[in-house]
Amino acid sequence: MITEERKTWERERRRERIIDIAQELMLKKGGRRGIAVEDIARAAGYNKRTIYLYFGGKDELFLAVVLRGQKILKEALQEALDDKSATPAIERLARAFFDFSIRHSGFFPLIMEYESRVHVYYGNPVDVDPASFRARCREESNDYGQIVTDAIERDLSAGIIESSLSPRQLMILLWGQIFGVMQIILMRQAMFYPAYGISHEELFEHFLAMILKALAPEGLTG
């Protein structure tokens, strides 16, 4: 006789396998466009009905895949924040974001799509199940936004950087800048040096130096 515990384990394994397949397809495509539930079912060896038994549809599967990428990103940023080196916290986080974007480049456009099209930045939706992938993705996004804000607060308090903006305001400005730079790098990485006469790593270093110089306290910018 199959125990209830065994049934639960099998359901969870099947659920994770479906996410694995959806992730593989979405990372190859750079998003959810052009992928149908039928494609995911076929690749997983299930029928479409089985997919809908575990997930509401492609949008929910998209969020399940995004959540995996968000967790990797948050862990990388948290490790950088917890580092006790003398390097400015925002510099450590910037390098962690760069490394994440290069090593997990398939997740980058998925997170960008989520942030630009799905994430609710203000207010607290009351009609969303707290256990849903939508709610969990929102929580992860808020968490890594707070990690960046905490890094800015540390550097401001230590006098390492200076800004008339609040930590949260500066966070969203820097977040937009680094996302934009990494999007360009990932789009053109293959032929970056032939096209621009500089490697994408060197370009990022120049970008980071510009940011740090712009935020350096008066008298330390020379």
Architecture of domain 60-215: Orthogonal Bundle (1.10)
Closest among 132, 154, 69, 128 to 104, alpha carbons compared: 69
Closest among 62, 58, 59 to 70, alpha carbons compared: 62
Give pLDDT tens digits for 170-195: 999 999 999 999 999 999 998 999 99
b/e per residue, 141-172, with b = 16+ CB within 10 A? beebbebbbbbbbbbbeeebbebeeebeebbe
- Give me the mean pLDDT over the 135-155 stretch: 97
What does the alpha-carbon distance between residue 120 and residue 59 come to, in Å, rounded to a whole number? 15
Closest among 120, 18, 99, 131 to 65, alpha carbons compared: 18
Instruction: Collapse the DSSP code of 94 into the 3-class scheme (helix H, G, I; strand E, B; otherwise coil) and give the result.
Output: helix
Domain boundaries of the chain, sorted by first residue? 1-55, 60-215
pTM of the predicted structure, to 2 decimals: 0.92
Closest among 99, 79, 76 to 200, alpha carbons compared: 99
Give pLDDT tens digits for 70-107: 999 999 999 999 998 999 999 999 999 999 999 999 99
Candidate from 56-65, 119-128, 163-172 with smallest mean pLDDT: 119-128
Amino acid at 182: M
Give pLDDT tens digits for 192-222: 999 999 999 999 999 999 999 999 998 655 4
**What's 1-55's CATH class?**
mainly alpha
Instruction: Collapse the DSSP code of 19 into the 3-class scheme (helix H, G, I; strand E, B; otherwise coil) and give the result.
Output: helix
What the block records as the tokens of 63 is 């969020």
